[in-house]
Amino acid sequence: MNTKTRSIEAYRRQLVEEAHVFADREIRPFAADFDERGQLSKDLIGKMAERGYLSASFPERYGGLALDPVHYGLFTEVIGKACCNVRTLITVNTSLIGETLLRYGTEEQKNEWLPKIASGEKVGAFALSEPLVGSDAKNVQTAYRREGNKYVLNGKKKWISFGDLADFFIVIAGDRGQVTAFLVERTQGDITSTPIQGMMANRASHIAEIEFKNVEVPAENVLGPVGGGFAYIVSTALDHGRYSIAWAGVAIAQEAVNAMVAYARTRSQFGERLHQHQLIKGMIGDSITQLHAARALCRKAGELRRDRDAEAVIETSIAKYFASKAAMQLATDNVQIHGGNGISNQYPAERLFREAKVLEIIEGTSQLQQQMISDYGLQKYFVKRPNLSEERSGH
Amino acid sequence: MELQAKVRSYIENNLVVFEENVQFSDDDNIFERGFVNSLFAMKLLNYIEQDFGITVDNEDLDIANFSTVNNIVSLIEKKRSGVS
């Protein structure tokens, strides 16, 4: 590593450290309140924008901090440890929307939207899921039709994070088997968002159902190629989303470990601290092993993404699958170690437990990840061996 | 390895059909035949850009350009020669 690379590394590490301090001071104390009230503070969004935290991975010319994938992952972890809802804001705006715009946006689209995301002037939402379509994204029901030099959109989206707060959307819509992505401003036509209540988690992520009625979108607002909405836009957005969610898993797993360690060292039962009980030691030992393994997978995925390695996509999927599963397991064990206190909202354990579950569902369920990982392994690890019986018989 | 063989080998390593004797020609549509999964278009694009040092513009992202070995080879040759 040369001097310049070392100094860039040191600068990026410092940015992550500063974000950690910021998160502990400005986010963590309010996380339970956000969850309870079901909304984030606009003041906080402004403070994050001022520091470049809504655009940490964007190039500097778009107002970003130019963090490479590894440091962007570490950044996601420190924000996610403090609050899952604030981390969701970053997952949606920086990873899903920003990174996809960086890859497929025209120069005009990038110049128009990326600085506005970075400055917090515009909040975006990725409108993919629908009442009847989740993982099966190729079959979206939201429809578009071309009329001259514009497109007309009709349909309903559901479970859209930040959908109720968003100033603009990336909308995935279909027309006779073709899927296309559109950049749509809320003010562009008849767009109604309805907040979804009664969520188990991500309660302050402004999750909404959104209806588009004859919304006219100019042709220059098509993102990526017409007909390439699934193959390129959705695939790329979800790949970036999975990377973010993988680190979100590490964040919850780390929080769970911190909480169980603190509780086990202070709480006594049967005249002994909890950590002196062997079964508790076993749970803590397993938890730390899972945490370290999850972080190692995320770091590996980050390094491959940084190097633009062809294996980055599948390693990201593996990291997301493992880290979200680890987060759920550790959040469960953390509740268990906390006993009755673990199921009360007087401790963060119950919130972590609720939030961990979401990670196994969003950006491709664990079952979809298993399928992709399996397909990969069935090809990669198949070793062709000579047919021994044929060899022996001289054929 | 020549370009055609290199592209073919990449596709073979990413097939999601696991019969040992699976065969496809350089003109077979790998998407229509179900030989690759939904992630493959994006993976293939990353592979082409990274391994062949070219940038594929939005106007070249027609899935037809990526659907057969021969089409992929044509796209790479076109981008290499600077023809847009």
Instruction: Tell which of B36, B44, B46, B50 to mutate to test the A interface (max A CBs under 10 Å).
Output: B46
Taking an 8 Å cut-off on Cβ atoms, the answer to whether B18 and A310 are in contact is: no
Q: Is the pLDDT of residue B38 over 90?
A: no
For chain B, percent of residues with pLDDT exceeding 70:
98
Residues of B in contact with A225 (CB under 8 A): 58-59, 61-62
Taking an 8 Å cut-off on Cβ atoms, the answer to whether B45 and A232 are in contact is: yes
> Looking at the domain assignment, is residue A115 inside a domain?
yes
Q: Is the pLDDT of residue A33 over 70?
A: yes
Residue A298 belongs to domain spanning = 230-380
Q: Which tens digit of pLDDT belongs to each residue from A244-277? A: 999 999 999 999 999 999 999 999 999 999 999 9
> Counting Cβ atoms within 10 Å, is residue A374 exposed (0-12), middle (13-18) or buried (19+)?
exposed
Taking an 8 Å cut-off on Cβ atoms, the answer to whether B61 and A228 are in contact is: yes
Q: How far is CA A174 from CA A128, A145, A182, A301, A362, in A?
A: 11, 9, 11, 32, 22
> What is the tally of structural domains in chain A?
3
Quote the ipTM score: 0.88
Cβ contact A370:A364 at 8 Å: no
Residue A374 to residue A377: CA distance in whole angstroms: 5
Task: Give the single-character DSSP code of A134.
Answer: S
**Distance from B52 to chain A by nearest Cα, in Å?**
12
Q: What is the mean pLDDT of residues B1-17?
A: 91
Token output for A129: 């899921």
For chain A, percent of residues with pLDDT exceeding 90:
92
Residue A242 to residue A225: CA distance in whole angstroms: 23
Q: Which of A112-116, A306-310, B33-37 has the highest mean pLDDT?
A: A112-116
Assign residue A255 the CATH number of its domain.
1.20.140.10
Residue B41 belongs to domain spanning = 3-80
> Looking at the domain assignment, is residue A153 inside a domain?
yes
Taking an 8 Å cut-off on Cβ atoms, the answer to whether A231 and B41 are in contact is: yes
Query: Which carries the bigger pLDDT value, residue A4 or residue A86?
Result: A86
Q: What is the mean pLDDT of residues A274-283?
A: 97
Q: Are residues A255 and A374 in the same domain?
A: yes
pLDDT score recorded for residue A97: 98
Domain boundary among A107, A122, A137: A122
Q: Are residues A32 and A102 in the same domain?
A: yes
Q: Are residues A137 and A92 in the same domain?
A: no
Cβ contact A269:A158 at 8 Å: no
Domain boundary among A122, A139, A169: A122
Q: Which tens digit of pLDDT belongs to each residue from A329-380? A: 999 999 999 999 999 999 999 999 999 999 999 999 999 999 999 999 999 9
Residue A99 annotated among the catalytic residues of the structure: no
Q: Is the pLDDT of residue B49 over 70?
A: yes
Q: What is the DSSP string of A289-320?
A: HHHHHHHHHHHHHHHHHHTT-TTHHHHHHHHH
pLDDT score recorded for residue A1: 67
pLDDT score recorded for residue B21: 81
Q: How far is CA A126 from CA A10, A33, A92, in A?
A: 33, 25, 7
Assign residue B61 the CATH number of its domain.
1.10.1200.10
Q: Which of A108, A147, A363, A390 is catalytic?
A: A363
> Looking at the domain assignment, is residue A390 inside a domain?
no
Which of A227, A372, A378 lies nearest to residue B63, judging by beta carbons? A227
Pairing of strands A178-185, A222-223: antiparallel
Q: Strands of chain A (E only): list them.
A: 124-127, 143-147, 150-160, 168-175, 178-185, 190-195, 208-218, 222-223, 268-269, 272-273
Q: Which of A281-290, B13-22, B23-32, B47-56 has the highest mean pLDDT?
A: A281-290
pLDDT score recorded for residue B63: 87
Round the average pLDDT of chain A to a whole number and report it: 95
Q: Angle at CA A191, nearest 5°, toward A108 and A194?
A: 125
Is the Cβ of A235 closer than 8 Å to some Cβ of chain B?
A: yes
Local confidence band at A388 (pLDDT 50, 70, 90 cut-offs):
low
Local confidence band at A238 (pLDDT 50, 70, 90 cut-offs):
very high
